[in-house]
Amino acid sequence: MNTENLKISTVENLITTPPKSKAKSDEIIRDLLPQKFGRQGMIWVAVLTAICCVGAFAYYRQLKHGLVVTNMRDYVSWGIYISNFVFFVAISLVGSLITAIFRLSNVKWSTPLTRIAEIIAVSAIVFASLIIIVDMGRPERLLNLFLHGRIQSPILWDVIVIGTYFFISVLLLYFPLLPDFKILIRFKEKTGKKLNRLYRFQGSFWKGTKEQFKISDKSINILCITIIPVAFCIHTVTSWLFATTYRPGWDSTNFGAYFISGAFLVGAGGVVVAMYMFRRAYRLEKYITDMHFEKMGRMVVLLAFLYLYFNINEYLIPAFKMKKMEAHHLTELFAGEYAPLFWFTIFIGMILPVIILLFKKGRKPKPAFIAGVMVVVGAWFKRYLIVTPTLLNPLLPMQNVPENFKHYFPSWEEWAIAMGSLSGALLLITLFARIYPIIPIHETIEEQNKTDEKISLVE
Amino acid sequence: MKRKINLKNILLVFISLVVLNQTGYAQDEKEEPQQIVRLHYYNVNNNLQYLVLESLLKTGRKIEPVKKKAYRIYLDSVARSNFIAGVLTNEEGKVKAVIPPELKSIWDEKSEHTFIVTSEVAGEEETPTEFNIIKSKIAIDTSNVDGVRNVTATVMKQENNEWVPAGDVELKIGIRRMDNTILSAGEEPTYTTDSDGVATVEFNKINMPGDSHGNLIFTASVSDNDELGNLSVDKTLSWGVPLKDDNSTFGQRTLWSTRFKTPYWLLILAYSISIGVWSTLIYLVFQLVKIKRLSIQRPG
Amino acid sequence: MSENNNQKSRREFLLSGLLASAAVAGCSDDNDNPFVTEENVAPSGEKVKLLSVNGEVIEVDKAFLKPVPNLPKLSNQEERKGIPGKKFVMVIDLSRCKNLRKCQEACNHMHHVHPGQNWIKILSMQDGENTAPYWQPTTCMHCDEPPCVKVCPVDATFKRQDGIVLIDANRCIGCRFCMAACPYSTRVFNWEEPKLPKEVEEQPYSCETSLPQKKGTVSKCDFCPDMTRQGKLPHCVTACPNGVFMFGDMNEDTVSNGAETFRFSDLIRDKAGYRLMEDLGTRPSVYYLPPVNRNFPYESGLENSDEHRKS
């Protein structure tokens, strides 16, 4: 980084701050401006793009031949597309957790994490919508949802609520970006001509006046309040896609809360992972500190316990009764074909991360990152377990069908598309961080000034 | 040559065999395929009469309809003057024919007639198949004495141009239902005429739904009788109760109705939530516009 | 023959001829009758003279000579409404079933069901360890409160006034929510392009025939509304040599397997008919008669079972 040649224009609202702060804020801006990809970054982007391309090719094959290229059949009519969809919806909930809930409860330390959380939410919700289109037998009839939509169907509720959540998330991403645009525009030399044009287009109207700040702050507050119920809706409705059926394993009144708690857990885990990655990639140690891992680690522990609690509800109570309809499903999970995966998700997805994060040493960046990865991977397979084994336990026995109807393991096309969508989401996040500051510059400066003031007051 | 014809059984066997794809039996029995032609004579209300020709190919235990095969049907003898019709079987191996007015003199001449079927395919030597019928008529009568409701069917046949009672004829007496099935008026599925050609059944079905006026179509029907063919006669009576169409599950505002019949509570819930949230969002977009306007006003 | 006479006999034909002939569909002179009547046979206008039983010359419409009358093409709207005044019901007598699978074959054949898939499944059932096994054919239950219709987002599957639950494959988006929602697992999906004979492929799509089937859409047992509209019984009913299936109109209170005809309410009362999964509240239109006093032992059906066929 060539710091000497950096010409820093005075940022208007910083005029009044003492020179010491000004130097500090300059440093912050320097650190947080979007950076070009390094070699590692290039490889990362290339690999993700390649996986996306394979996924796109697999989808081309699916469009050509039909869903027959998948290994879904009449009994397992929903496979990893749907579990992947649920995973995306789940992880997108983190936007409301970190941004809205923390902001409303005046949690200051979460400031550097808000944008990370929000971009995870936006890209996850984008790919949730895409993957659900991939799952459709007739994607070209998507418009029928609007032309002939039946409000009685939970699918329509999902469509409405996902659309709404996407819109809110984008607004919640955009409003806090406005002050940063001003900074970005000033640093033309650093960001490059093309990006500058984009910034101007998106935020040149932001002058940083008091009125503008007033409106913006108020809008963000309203957004934070609105996003919480909508976020709850989005995942509750997604759980209802399953809970509105009669099938053992899905027919549960616990499902909404079960899904939401799981969503918060995977979201928090995802943020820990993203924090670690960004911190390493962009050398953000000063901004995403050990304290953040410490706090997020505690958060993950709390949420993991919450999810564990709902899991016990979800499995122990039916297992206590062992109704005939449920019995086969549950024994399959506990001790049957799906037992290894089931216990894997319980231990890797919940218990092990809790054990790691309960220790102070475990909440250091690296172990916390590992725990976060465990949570996310466990959560992905957990969604698979929610969808597939239930479909293999229909209420009437599976007979008069070919042998491959009675089992399910995703085909390469399904894996490629699912992995392609995950890569796509990661790519979206990566590209976003390339273009926009992944840690809010303006807010960080503000926080810095406030703490400085406090320190000076104490002095 | 006489054929034993029982329409209902033939239909059942026929349709089930059309779709038979089990090769288990057919493989070991390599029999010569056998052509089967059947002719059914119908007499409806002692007025309309027609013939249904059915052509089948039997291979082992497998019977298939013969499609698009041409036949000629004659009355009493194979001669130009006795020609009834040239017909072509359809996809189900069946075809219908009527007796043309030109054969009136031959028809009126005798009480018994023979239908002769010959194959039209050149070079294919097939012995003409013959089917005999006796002219007959059937009558249905009902009586209601002191609440005892009886249905009486009378079957007569012609012998030497004289009408005589047809005894020992099996027939169904009942109400005509879907697919021309007959719901027996009494307890037995079928009845047999006595020496007077008469069969009487007490109609014991209470509150039987009829049409919108409570009308029931009573019918007496002889099916594939060796001598008489198929006879049927109807009589409509208001011995039923008016039909009550239970439409309680249709056209109501329920969760399983169409989108035009959404329950009100759901509509109100869905719209109020959507409108509530989206008006907030639209308000926020306006706030953005406001922020933008503030920047334009500033220089001025 | 005088003009007067001529007209009289024509009227008589329309009153009686269509009523009774086994080969011609149609059963009533009542105008309320939704089935084939003089209005909807689509008369050709051409008359044919023929000889009556009494040797009189009478006239009938040429359309009469066709074994299957030309029904006017129905609009999608009419197909979605269903046949007025009808409420179709099926009774499956488990004491008569020996897993012959003729129903399945006929159904698959007539609806061009994809090989390997079935609209009718004959399940080998055993409710408890020490209870007797039996064969249970399962069709679509055509529920009065259908869970599949509840969840359909685009009205692609719908409940008609005659009780039939149908699918419009031109509307279906292939989300398969209905398949997950159906507790009877009755629905199948066209995972690939259906392989259909050319003439079927070319015929215009109708919800009532469910043909031609379309890739990426759901299909299932439809109670053969194309047959019932002609007043005929569904294919599975006529195909079963043991008379297991009985079909009819609940409003007529009659069901028939073609050979035998019963009063529906008597049959259900006398043989203690029941419906599957009554506790789910789906209110099926298919009733079962318990497998008591069986015509065949359970074992006689084993030779047609999946396991036996494989080996």
- Angle of helix A111-135 relative to helix A441-458, nearest 10 degrees? 160
Going by pLDDT thresholds of 50, 70 and 90, the confidence category of residue A222 is very high
* Rg of chain C over all Cα atoms, to the nearest angstrom: 21
Beta strand C254-256 with C245-249 is antiparallel
pLDDT at A432: 94
Which residues in A lie closer than 8 A to residue C308 (C-beta atoms)? Answer: none
Residue C70 in any domain: the answer is no
Number of B:C CB contacts under 8 A? 222
CATH code given to domain A36-458: 1.20.1630.10
Give the list of residues 6+ apart from residue B88 with CB closer than 8 angstroms, or none. Answer: B68, B69, B70, B71, B95
**A282 pLDDT higher than 70:** yes
- Asked whether residue C112 falls in the same domain as residue C93, the answer is yes
Which residues span the domain enclosing C81?
Answer: 76-304
Integer angstrom CA distances of residue A7 from A338, A375, B279, C183: 61, 44, 44, 69
Q: Is B126:B33 a contact under the CB 8 Å cutoff?
A: no
Angle at A247 between CA A76 and CA C128, to 5 degrees: 105
pLDDT at B140: 92
For residue C80, give both structure tokens. Answer: 């979605």
Beta strand B70-75 with B34-44 is unpaired
**C27 pLDDT higher than 90:** no
**B22 pLDDT higher than 50:** no
Q: Is B167:B37 a contact under the CB 8 Å cutoff?
A: no
CA–CA separation, A12 vs A16, rounded Å?
8
Residue C127 in any domain: the answer is yes
- Asked whether residue C281 falls in the same domain as residue C135, the answer is yes
The number of distinct structural domains making up chain C is 2
ipTM of the complex: 0.89
Going by pLDDT thresholds of 50, 70 and 90, the confidence category of residue B3 is very low
The answer to whether B275 contacts chain A (CB < 8 Å) is no
Tally the C-alpha atoms within 13 A of residue C250's C-alpha that lie toward its C-beta.
22
- Of the candidates C48, C64, C85, the beta carbon closest to that of B243 is on C85
The chains in contact with chain B, meaning 3 or more Cβ pairs closer than 8 Å, are A, C
Domains B7-133 and B136-237 share a fold: yes
Which of C18, C37, C65 lies at the terminal end of a domain, its last residue?
C65
CA–CA separation, A141 vs C298, rounded Å?
47
- Of the candidates A137, A149, A245, the beta carbon closest to that of C153 is on A149
- Tell which of B254, B271, B291 to mutate to test the A interface (max A CBs under 10 Å): B291
Integer angstrom CA distances of residue C54 from B99, B112, C20, C24, C287: 12, 13, 18, 22, 47
Q: Is B191:B202 a contact under the CB 8 Å cutoff?
A: no
Domain ranges of chain B: 7-133, 136-237, 259-297
- The pLDDT tens digits for A388-423 are 999 999 999 999 889 899 999 999 999 999 999 999
CA–CA separation, B55 vs B18, rounded Å?
12
- Asked whether residue C114 falls in the same domain as residue C222, the answer is yes
- Asked whether residue C48 falls in the same domain as residue C112, the answer is no
The answer to whether C184 contacts chain A (CB < 8 Å) is yes
* Rg of chain A over all Cα atoms, to the nearest angstrom: 24
pLDDT at B47: 85
pLDDT at A167: 95
Find the residue in A nearest to C117 (Cα).
Answer: A401
Largest CA distance in chain C: 77
Highest mean pLDDT among A203-207, B128-132, C222-226: C222-226
B7-133 belongs to which CATH class? mainly beta
Integer angstrom CA distances of residue B205 from B185, B233, C264, C289: 7, 20, 12, 22
Going by pLDDT thresholds of 50, 70 and 90, the confidence category of residue B127 is confident
Going by pLDDT thresholds of 50, 70 and 90, the confidence category of residue C44 is low
Q: Is C168:C208 a contact under the CB 8 Å cutoff?
A: no
Number of Cβ within 10 Å of residue C236's Cβ equals 26
- The strand pairing partners of B72, in sequence order, are B86, B118
pLDDT at B77: 85
Beta strand B229-237 with B34-44 is parallel
pLDDT at C159: 94
Q: Is A208:A179 a contact under the CB 8 Å cutoff?
A: yes
Give the list of residues 6+ apart from residue A173 with CB closer than 8 angstroms, or none. Answer: A115, A118, A119, A122
pLDDT at A413: 96
Place of tokens 């079987």: B89
**B244 pLDDT higher than 90:** no
**B147 torsion bin: left (phi>0), alpha (psi -120 to 50), beta (else):** left
Exposure string over B23-58, b if 16+ CB within 10 A, otherwise e: eeeeeeeeeeeeeebbbbbbbbbbbbbbbbbbbbbe
- The pLDDT tens digits for C174-215 are 999 999 999 999 999 999 999 999 988 888 999 999 989 999
Rounded to 10 degrees, what is the CA torsion of C144, C145, C146, C149? 110
CA–CA separation, B2 vs B30, rounded Å?
28
Angle at B218 between CA B217 and CA B221, to 5 degrees: 120
Integer angstrom CA distances of residue A306 from A126, A310, A311, B8, B206: 27, 7, 9, 68, 64
Q: Which residues numbered 193-232 in C keep a CB inside 8 Å of some CB on B?
A: 228, 231-232
pLDDT at A370: 96
- The strand pairing partners of B83, in sequence order, are B74
Average pLDDT, chain C: 84
Place of tokens 């005589």: B164
The answer to whether C10 contacts chain B (CB < 8 Å) is no
pLDDT at B227: 87
Nearest-CA neighbor of C165 among C112, C205, C220? C220
Number of Cβ within 10 Å of residue C117's Cβ equals 19
pLDDT at C38: 35
Lowest mean pLDDT among C67-81, C138-152, C268-282: C67-81
- Of the candidates C55, C57, C256, the beta carbon closest to that of B177 is on C256
Give the list of residues 6+ apart from residue A387 with CB closer than 8 angstroms, or none. Answer: A78, A79, A80, A82, A83, A86, A242
Q: Residue A342 burial (CB < 10 Å; 0-12/13-18/19+)?
A: buried
- Of the candidates A157, A164, A219, the beta carbon closest to that of B284 is on A219
Q: Residue C261 burial (CB < 10 Å; 0-12/13-18/19+)?
A: buried
pLDDT at C3: 42
Alpha helices (H) in A204-254, listed in sequence order: 210-243
Evaluate whether the domain defined by B136-237 bears CATH number 2.60.40.
yes
For residue C172, give both structure tokens. Answer: 């279906």
- Asked whether residue C180 falls in the same domain as residue C206, the answer is yes
CA–CA separation, A195 vs A187, rounded Å?
11
CA–CA separation, B244 vs C32, rounded Å?
13
Rounded to 10 degrees, what is the CA torsion of A164, A170, A171, A175? 170
Exposure string over C77-92, b if 16+ CB within 10 A, otherwise e: eebbbbbebbbbbbbb
Q: Is C58:C50 a contact under the CB 8 Å cutoff?
A: yes
Give percent of chain B above pLDDT 90: 29
Q: Which helix (H) or strand (E) holds B220?
A: strand B216-225
- The pLDDT tens digits for B154-212 are 999 988 888 899 989 999 999 988 888 899 998 888 999 999 999 999 998 888 888 88
CB contact under 8 A, A153 and C280: no
The answer to whether B260 contacts chain A (CB < 8 Å) is no
- Angle of helix A210-243 relative to helix A255-282, nearest 10 degrees? 130
Taking residues B232-259, report their average pLDDT. Answer: 85
- Asked whether residue C166 falls in the same domain as residue C273, the answer is yes
CA–CA separation, A442 vs A21, rounded Å?
13
CB contact under 8 A, C161 and B211: no
Find the residue in B nearest to C248 (Cα).
Answer: B178
The minimum CA-CA distance between B73 and chain C, rounded to whole Å, is 15
Give percent of chain A above pLDDT 90: 74
- The pLDDT tens digits for A135-177 are 999 999 999 999 999 999 999 999 999 999 999 999 999 999 9
Q: Is C182:C147 a contact under the CB 8 Å cutoff?
A: yes
Q: Is A216:B290 a contact under the CB 8 Å cutoff?
A: no
Going by pLDDT thresholds of 50, 70 and 90, the confidence category of residue A17 is low
- Asked whether residue C53 falls in the same domain as residue C96, the answer is no
Find the residue in B nearest to C178 (Cα).
Answer: B256
Rounded to 10 degrees, what is the CA torsion of A260, A266, A269, A274? -110
Q: Which helix (H) or strand (E) holds C178?
A: helix C177-181
pLDDT at A273: 95
**DSSP E strands, A129-178:** none
pLDDT at B247: 67
CA–CA separation, C218 vs C284, rounded Å?
20
Q: Which long-range contacts (CB under 8 A, 24 or more apart) does B153-158 make?
A: B153/B191, B153/B193, B153/B198, B153/B199, B153/B200, B153/B220, B153/B233, B154/B193, B154/B196, B154/B197, B154/B198, B155/B193, B155/B197, B155/B222, B155/B228, B155/B231, B156/B197, B157/B111, B157/B197, B157/B227, B157/B228, B158/B111, B158/B112, B158/B134
Residue C309 in any domain: the answer is no
Amino acid at B206: I
Taking residues B41-52, report their average pLDDT. Answer: 88
Going by pLDDT thresholds of 50, 70 and 90, the confidence category of residue C43 is low
Instruction: Name the DSSP letter for residue C9.
Output: H
Give percent of chain B above pLDDT 70: 84
pLDDT at A8: 41
Dihedral pair phi/psi, residue B218, rounded to 5°: -85, 140
- Of the candidates A149, A152, A207, the beta carbon closest to that of B298 is on A207
- Asked whether residue C139 falls in the same domain as residue C84, the answer is yes
**C26 pLDDT higher than 70:** no
Q: Which residues numbered 209-248 in C keep a CB inside 8 Å of some CB on A?
A: 215-218
pLDDT at C14: 40
**C7 pLDDT higher than 80:** no
- Whether omega for the bond prior to residue A353 falls within 30 degrees of 0, making it cis, is no
pLDDT at A13: 46
The chains in contact with chain C, meaning 3 or more Cβ pairs closer than 8 Å, are A, B
- The pLDDT tens digits for A320-373 are 999 988 999 999 999 999 999 999 999 999 999 999 999 999 999 999 999 999
Q: Which long-range contacts (CB under 8 A, 24 or more apart) does B188-192 make?
A: B189/C260, B189/C261, B191/B153, B192/B168
The answer to whether A217 contacts chain B (CB < 8 Å) is no
Q: Which residues numbered 375-394 in A keep a CB inside 8 Å of some CB on C?
A: 391, 394
